[in-house]
Structure formats: structure tokens, C-alpha cells
Amino acid sequence: MSADGWSSVLVLGGIRSGKSAFAETLVAGAASVRYVATAVGGEDDPEWRARIETHQRRRPQSWTTEETGADPARLTAVLAEAKPDDTLLVDDLGGWVAALLDPAQQPNDDPATVTALAAAVRACAARVVLVSPEVGLSLVPTTPVGRAFADALGTANQALAGACDRVAFVVAGRPTWLKTGPDAPAIGTEPQAENDAAPLTVDAAAMHDAMTAHTPATGTPVLPQPEAQTQAPTQTQPPSAEDVVAAHRARTANAATDALHAPTMVLPLVATGTIIEAGMDLPLPDSDAGPDARDRLAGVDLPGGGLGALLEAVEFAAATQGTATPRAWGPVRVLLIDGRHGGGAAAGADVTDAARRADEAEAGEGALARLAATAEADIVVVRTPASGAMEDGPVLDAEAVDAALLQGWKLADAAAEAGRDVLVLGSCGVGTEAAAAAVLAATTGAEPVAVLPRVLVPGGFYDDAAWMVRCAAVRDAMHRIRQESRGAKDILAQLGGADLAVATGALLGAAARRMPVLLDGPLGIAAGLVARDLASQSRHWCLLPDAGTQALVRQGADVLGLTPVVQLGMDLGEGANALAVLPLLRSAIALAGALPVHPALLAGHDAAGPAELPGDEPDPAGSDEEQDFTEPEPAGPGPASV
């Protein structure tokens, strides 16, 4: 078992429940993942191939794919061959059961095969996440083969639920933990304990916390217990905000290393602001809307072959807006973060020049301001406190990290309140690239010298001596923290600094407000990696318009599962690349949402509206994606300052 308490997780869910996307978030932090696909058949079905390709596009390039195909025994062998440092994602067991029931596999001792698979999961040396459809909530199938499939899959789910350390059930994209560790809160019961009666007790302090807790996105209060089960309120002084924060931190002290021990948590709000801790529960984009938008585009009235690479942006917009016909983004807010890092990270940097660029953006001048004016974007310049030298010790203390995270959250919240549709992260600070390289190295194991950008000086020349000083600073910092905790806040305190903490808070705040974020540089990528470790859902609200020319951005984006929409190779400065591509993205999204169906496809149908297409056909069974297993079948101008 791993240090954080789990080696195997079974993720259950219905059709289009978001179970695959949730399972992918569980392994998102792994340096590499072996994706075990169980799909059988479908080679002659274009729609089925498109669905599989959608799954394939979501996988980072660092993942490898292994197909078990029509051989059910192959999955057991893959589990047995896995090494301790491997991470396996099996998606899904519906395909495995379909292959098991194939007449070509009969006669066969199916229960023994299921038992062998459960034993292989128990004995597997690697981390394993298995995805499986939950078919027990639907009607009993009307055909013998349908009933056989439902029975076999239900038996497999029960066996694997007993074999796995954790079991999650996903409904409408929201996970609930059915089985946790022995030291976890009682978020589920074992079958033998369901009939055990226990006296009802009420913890007044816990009830007060529950009644004052809210979700980050909706602010919906947790409902109190029925009146008959509660005591009349006493006239005591309510706990202070500081007491609530302290109590929450005490309850979640192990969240960074044992997040799977607890149910999906509710983000508490207190008088002093949001508590940003590991294990935060933020919303996810609509897992159906993106693929539906792609399917719809196959029939719209375009004279050519389609939108090409821009389809990535259309799917992203559809998912984040929750509709297959997304609208083009409106006003945009650019957060230009001006940070200062001390020590070797700032070698070769001109502090005066960095301050000049921030002042120009604030005054509506310079390249970033010009691009913002053409992209209906406003710029907020965020000047953060100076951070220390990473090679000498922590660059921030814990209180400063919390303050910077909260500042970033509030900046995203203010952008949403101002009616901005998209957030763009930009940077013009000193030493930020070295800090981002150190964060990437600490969180992914990347080699710093391979990802640290060279030091460009005016005139188009490179200062390689300054680059070597920066490399040495990152190297010494990595050596210094080699035995330190690598939690998200620890990384910010030891390496990231105030500017990265503000950017991380902004990413989390944007995800809480369901606001897309465009990343295009070292600061945004590093912030995305840290935000992922605080709330894994945050990365699904990020889009990479262009990866630029830096290896740091490309490698970090690959770990985050972000694919560049276009490959223009621009290097205009962080934030400017995204603004340059933004008009093109808007045009593609507007076309996708507004174009009508091709007239030839409407023959025999009533005239449809401009945004309508015939409904999707049900999914065939036996795939590595979401399936139906009832029965298997073959902003305005004027920058501001903070």
C-alpha cells in the first residue's frame, strides 16, 4: 500500500456519469500511466471510433495504452506483471465482461475468471484504478444475453469492490466514496453492519460547523437535522472565524497525503474568506457537452472538412458552458502578475525593465495592452511581495502562502462578478521562470536543466552565464528540500513564491466560478500543477491555446493533460500568446454554435432549428468509454491595478 493509504480504487457510475473523467483525476499526479483499454469491436462504426478517439485525446502523451481486446485473461496478466512504481488505469470492466461472455470464449468458468481478477487486484504491486459501469439501477434486461451481461457485471463489481482499498460511485460528475480506509469517517457501511442499531447522538459543535458550511460555487448551506432531533439553540457566543479555520485545519491535517480517506469535502466559507486546503471539491465541466459538440459539427453546413485543430477549443467551450452549441467568449480579464524572486533565480534579469512593462500595461501601452485592446480584454496588474532566494531557504512563510492563495481566489471572483467570461494568466516578473522550473521539477521529477528557459536579453541575445546561475539555484533548492514534504503549499513556500501562489489561487477561484482559464507560459503551467494537487478538478478548466517555444510549458502541459490548440511557436511573453490566438478561438466557437444543419441531412425530417441535430445513438457495449450496459450489442478597455 502506498504512503497515502491506497493501492487500488474501483470507480462505479452509470452512463455518461463522468466516472472515466473522475478516474483520470485520481492518476493525474503520476509521472506515467498505463491505460488498459478493454474495447472490443466497433471498427466498422464511425461514431464508435469517434468516441474512442475522444478518450484517446484526453490522455497525456506520457501515458501508454495497452489493449486487452477479446482476451479476458490478458487483464489479469497485466496486473500480475505490473511493477511497484507503475500506475494502471483500467477503463472499463464492461468491455472486459463483454469479452468474457463472447461465445468464442465458451465454455468457460466465468465465476473463476472473476475471482482470479479480484485476486490479481489484491496482489498487484502497482497502483490500480478500475472503472466499471453500474447496471444494477436499471430495469431487468428483456433478453437472455442482456440478463447474463448484467448478472456477470454485477458479480464482477461486487468481487472487485471487496478487493479494492477504495470504492467511489459517480453520479452526474459528483463522486461519493462508498468504501474508505479503516481510519476514515463513516461515509459508507459494510453490508454486515447495515442492520446494527446505534443510538443517535448530536455533536453541537459539529452541527454548528455543518450549518455554517457552504459550497464554493453555489453558496448552498448544508441542511440542519430535523427539529425533533436537535436541542434548542443556546445563547452562546458563536465561534470566531479564526476558531472555525483552526477547527477545519485540524480535521483536514492529513488531507495532502490521504485525500482518498475522506468523502468529497464541502469547501467551507468563513468570515475571513475561503479556506484553501488539499482535497478541495470544485465543480467539473460537463463531460457530455464536449463530445456532443464534436458529434454535432459532423453535420453542420460547412463548405469544407471542418475546423481542424480548433475543434479542441470548441469542445472545451462546450464542456465549460454545459451545452453542445457554445457561444463565443465575451469580455476577458488578464491578470498580469509582477513578482520578484531573490537569489540566483533572478540572474540576468533587469528589474527596471520588468517594472517598466508592468507600468506600460497599466497605462494601456506596450504589446500586451495592444493585444488586449483587440481581444476585448482588460488588464489587472498584480504586484506581489518579493520572494526569497530558493537556494537559501523557504521563499515564503505559511501565512504568506495562505494570504497569496486567497488574494488570487478573490481576483478570480472579482473577474466573474465583473462579467468576464475567461481569465488569462500573464507574467512580467523577475525570476518567475526559474521558480516555475523548480516547481515542475519538484512535482513531476523533470530535469531542471532540460526545462529551464534560456535568459534572453535585449537585442535577441542569450546570456548563458546567467542561465547557469539560475540552473545552480534550482539545483541547490532541489537538494535542500530533498527530504522535505512535497505538499502543494509546501512547494509554494519552498520554491514557488508569492506570484505563483497568487496564480494558483486564481486558478482555483476560476474553477469554483466555472470560469475557463487560458494558460500559455511558465507561471500558468506551474500554477496549474500546484492547483491540481489542491483540487484535481481545476485542470479541466484550463486551455492551452499555444505551447510557444519553451520545453517547460510543453512538458508541464503534458503532465496536466493539456494539448495546445494550435502550434504557432510564438514567444510574445506570457499572456500575450493567448491574446494573439483568442480571436481565432472565438471565431471557431461562434461558427460551431451558430451554423445550421446541412440541408441534405434534413431530408425526411421536420425542419430543425439552426442549433439542432438528430439525437445521438446509444453507445455499444464493450468500450473503454461511458456505455449503456442494459443489453450488450455487437471585457472593456481600461486596465486596473492591484
Task: Give a three-class secondary structure readout of 403-437.
Answer: HHHHHHHHHHHHHHHCCCCEEEEEECCECHHHHHH
Dihedral angle, C-alpha 480, 484, 489, 491, nearest 10 ° = 40
Give the span between the Cα atoms of 355 and 366, in whole angstroms. Answer: 13
Q: Helix, strand, coil shares of the chain as percentages rounded to 5?
A: 45, 15, 45
Give the span between the Cα atoms of 488 and 59, in whole angstroms. Answer: 23
Give the span between the Cα atoms of 486 and 488, in whole angstroms. Answer: 6
* Nearest Cα residue to 360 out of 590, 641, 172, 630: 641
Q: Which member of 277, 362, 574, 625 is catalytic?
A: 574
DSSP string, 87-131: EEEEE-HHHHHHHHT-GGG-S--HHHHHHHHHHHHHH-SSEEEEE
Q: Which helix (H) or strand (E) holds 336?
A: strand 332-341
Residue type, 131: V
Sign of CA dihedral 201, 203, 206, 212: positive
Cα 29 to chain centroid distance, Å, stands at 10
Q: Which helix (H) or strand (E) holds 564?
A: none
Dig out the grid coordinates for 224 from the structure: 440542519
Q: Is 574 a catalytic site residue? A: yes
Alpha-helix residue ranges (DSSP H) falling in 269-327: 289-297, 311-321
Burial of 504 (0-12, 13-18, 19+ CB in 10 A): buried
Gyration radius (Cα) of the chain, Å: 26
Task: Give the catalytic positions in this structure.
Answer: 574
